[in-house]
């Protein structure tokens, strides 16, 4: 089937949804097609717990937030981009509030600002420990109500159609009909998130497999800083707890990390202890585990906060941990570091522009220069909002100049239905294991050489399978 649209948005996290809403509000007579490879809420946004960073109260200011971001990024941030994104935070947060997101308030009726690692002030606006879920639901409801936005679920982008550094649309697999659709668009926007599923342990949902970044690379876009994959220090360790994050806000409220001997080890690694930047805490836990041979460490909030406080501030974590017979009001939580956020990606401006004309990349898929070598906690949803807003306004100005071009039908070649899917699933498991062990939190020349050798073998095997 051939389709034609003004704007093709691939991805349904905060950046894709917020972009669609902004374009629709600015030019309601233009056609927008938003596709997602699973359900609308299957995104990293939905799983985000902590919140959105913003210099909101009188004791805080943009300079402090900018400084904290630069320190976390270890000297590799683009200071101009950092300033532009941080200073937009209050406006974009107000946009969410106007759309209906109800951030948690304290007993005085003021917003309850959370404290997270790397932040010098309390500045995290949140909806208890379910911020992403709340934001995602509000945005989905608004997108569904806008008449010029067509939504397609279970449509997986297979490849972009680009020639001579110009993008004209995409080939998309309808996973229900198993048909490849050809979509022509004046502008194609990738809001496809990160690639955490290439690691054995990750906080990301299954959809975060790096598809968008790979497609952009094949189209000719520049990729940068992919080596800077952030590992979140505290992912729940349990054989049946799939990708469940324990928010950094818990450490902001006093939770302590201990090894299995009960020792608070983190103070040996950084003066900020549990509130050090994520990369520091993750490396500290990794070092302790390698030294002890244990599989996990413990995060203890029960010894420092009363049960009522824990249940009211962390209801999502409380309920989920109970499913695994862990009562966080009484028991410490077993945790391990896990792949969490792609600090690199497709090189893009704050408005999503790339080296490929008519191809735009926003949110986690993009490398704008905000995060540098390590993302500051709760800056990710903020970046998604700002880049979506800037991209929408840029596209509205550019739309008179944007032209469509017919693209050829998908050529399936000699492809036939798989009869040996176990081979590919085995390769996936091997890739994840190799990435976890050799390209994880701590790397060495020997490990990286081993990873490269292994990945080249897997690549050849997969190519042979599909020939």
For the domain that residue 98 is a member of, what is the CATH number?
3.50.50.60
Instruction: Give the helix/strand (H/E) hosting 300.
Output: strand 297-300
In the chain, how many domains are there? 3
Quick one: 37 and 114 in the same domain? yes
Tell me, yes or no, whether 139 and 26 share the same domain: yes
Phi, psi of 190 (to 5 degrees): -95, 120
Contacts of 271 (CB under 8 A, 6+ apart): none
Determine the pLDDT at residue 278: 85
Q: Is 214 inside a domain boundary?
A: yes
Six-digit token string for 412: 């399936």
Q: Is residue 372 part of a domain?
A: yes
Q: Do 282 and 361 fall into the same domain?
A: no
Q: Are residues 68 and 196 in the same domain?
A: yes
3-class secondary-structure state, position 251: helix
Q: What is the pLDDT of residue 102?
A: 97
Helix axes 131-145, 79-99, angle to 10 degrees: 70
Torsion of CA 90, 70, 121, 16, to 10 degrees: 40
Q: How far is CA 448 from CA 69, 380, 454, 460, in A?
A: 29, 28, 10, 18
- β partners of residue 357: 166
408 is a domain residue: no
Share of the chain above pLDDT 70, in %: 100
24 is a domain residue: yes
**pLDDT computed for residue 129 by the predictor:** 87
- pLDDT value of residue 105: 95
> Which carries the bigger pLDDT value, residue 313 or residue 386?
386
416 lies in a domain?
A: no
Q: Does residue 334 sit in the same domain as residue 353?
A: no
How many alpha carbons fall within 13 Å on the CB side of residue 202? 26
> Across all residues in the chain, what is the average pLDDT?
94
Listed residues 338, 359, 385: the one ending a domain: 338
Per-residue pLDDT of 20-75, as tens digits, reads 999 999 999 999 999 999 999 989 999 888 899 999 999 999 999 999 999 999 99
pLDDT of 418 above 80: no
Please compute Rg for the chain using Cα positions: 22
Q: Determine contact, residues 55/89, Cβ cutoff 8 Å.
A: yes
Residue of 278, 432, 450, 467 with catalytic role? 278
CA distance 277 to 343: 14
Whether residues 133 and 152 share a domain: the answer is yes
Task: Please state, in angstroms and rounded to a whole number, the distance separating the CA atoms of residues 19 and 25.
Answer: 10
Q: Which of 320, 338, 356 is the last residue of a domain?
A: 338
**Is residue 363 within 8 Å of residue 11, measured between CB atoms?**
yes
CB neighbour burial string for 327-355, b if at least 16 within 10 angstroms, e if fewer: ebbeebbbbbbbbbbbbbbbbbbbbbbbe
Which residues, other chains included, contact 456 with Cβ-Cβ below 8 Å and sequence gap of 6+? none
Number of helices (H), then strands (E), belonging to the chain: the values are 13, 16
Question: Residue holding tokens 């893009």?
Answer: 348
Region 289-303: mean pLDDT is: 93
Range of the domain at 387: 2-228+343-401
Residue ranges with strand state E in 194-241: 223-224, 229-236
The predicted pLDDT at position 279 comes to: 85
Domain membership of residue 321 (yes or no) is yes
Q: Is the dihedral of CA 425, 427, 430, 431 positive or negative?
A: negative
Give, as one character, the DSSP assignment of residue 189. E
Residues 189, 205: Cα–Cα separation, whole Å: 21
Q: Residue 276 maps to which CATH number?
A: 3.90.700.10
- Determine the pLDDT at residue 242: 76
**Residue appearing with tokens 């050849």:** 460
123 is catalytic: no
d(CA 295, CA 458): 28
Q: Which two tokens stand for residue 176?
A: 């229900």
Are 16 and 109 contained in the same domain? Answer: yes
């Amino acid at each position: 089937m051939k389709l034609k649209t003004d704007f093709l948005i691939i991805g349904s996290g905060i950046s894709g949804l917020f972009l669609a809403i902004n374009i629709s509000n600015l030019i309601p007579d233009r056609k927008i097609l938003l596709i997602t490879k699973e359900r609308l809420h299957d995104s990293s946004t939905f799983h985000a717990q902590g919140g959105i960073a913003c210099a909101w109260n009188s004791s805080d200011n943009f300079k402090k937030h900018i400084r904290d971001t630069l320190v976390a990024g270890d000297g590799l941030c683009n200071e101009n981009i950092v300033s532009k994104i941080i200073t937009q935070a209050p406006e974009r947060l107000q946009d969410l509030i106007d759309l209906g997101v109800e951030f948690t308030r304290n007993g005085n009726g003021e917003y309850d600002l959370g404290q997270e690692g790397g932040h010098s002030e309390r500045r995290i606006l949140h909806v208890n420990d379910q911020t992403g879920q709340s934001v995602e639901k509000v945005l989905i409801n608004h997108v569904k109500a806008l008449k010029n936005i067509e939504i397609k679920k279970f449509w997986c982008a297979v490849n972009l159609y680009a020639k001579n550094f110009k993008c004209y649309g995409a080939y998309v697999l309808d996973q229900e009909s198993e048909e490849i659709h050809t979509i022509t668009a004046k502008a194609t926007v990738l809001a496809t998130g990160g690639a955490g599923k290439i690691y054995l342990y990750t906080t990301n949902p299954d959809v975060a497999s790096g598809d968008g970044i790979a497609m952009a690379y094949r189209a000719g876009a520049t990729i940068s800083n992919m080596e800077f994959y952030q590992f979140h220090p505290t992912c729940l360790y349990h054989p049946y707890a799939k990708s469940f994050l324990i928010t950094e806000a818990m450490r902001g409220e006093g939770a302590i990390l201990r090894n299995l001997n009960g020792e608070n080890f983190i103070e040996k690694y950084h003066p900020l202890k549990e509130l050090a930047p994520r990369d520091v805490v993750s490396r500290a836990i990794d070092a302790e585990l390698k030294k002890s041979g244990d599989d996990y460490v413990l995060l203890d909030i029960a010894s420092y906060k009363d049960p009522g406080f824990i249940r009211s501030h962390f209801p999502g974590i409380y309920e989920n941990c109970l499913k695994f017979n862990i009562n966080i009001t009484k028991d410490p939580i077993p945790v391990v570091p896990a792949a969490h956020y792609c600090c690199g990606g497709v090189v893009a401006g704050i408005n999503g522009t790339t080296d490929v004309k008519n191809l735009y990349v926003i949110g986690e898929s993009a490398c704008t220069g905000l995060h540098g070598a390590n993302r500051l906690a709760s800056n990710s949803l903020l970046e998604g909002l700002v880049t979506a807003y800037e991209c929408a306004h840029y596209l509205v100005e550019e739309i008179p100049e944007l032209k469509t071009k017919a693209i050829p039908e998908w050529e399936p070649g000699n492809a036939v239905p798989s009869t040996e899917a176990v081979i590919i699933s085995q390769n996936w498991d091997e890739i994840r294991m190799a990435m976890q062990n050799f390209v994880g939190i701590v790397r060495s020349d020997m490990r990286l050489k081993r990873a490269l050798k292994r990945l080249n073998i897997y690549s050849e095997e997969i190519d042979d399978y599909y020939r």
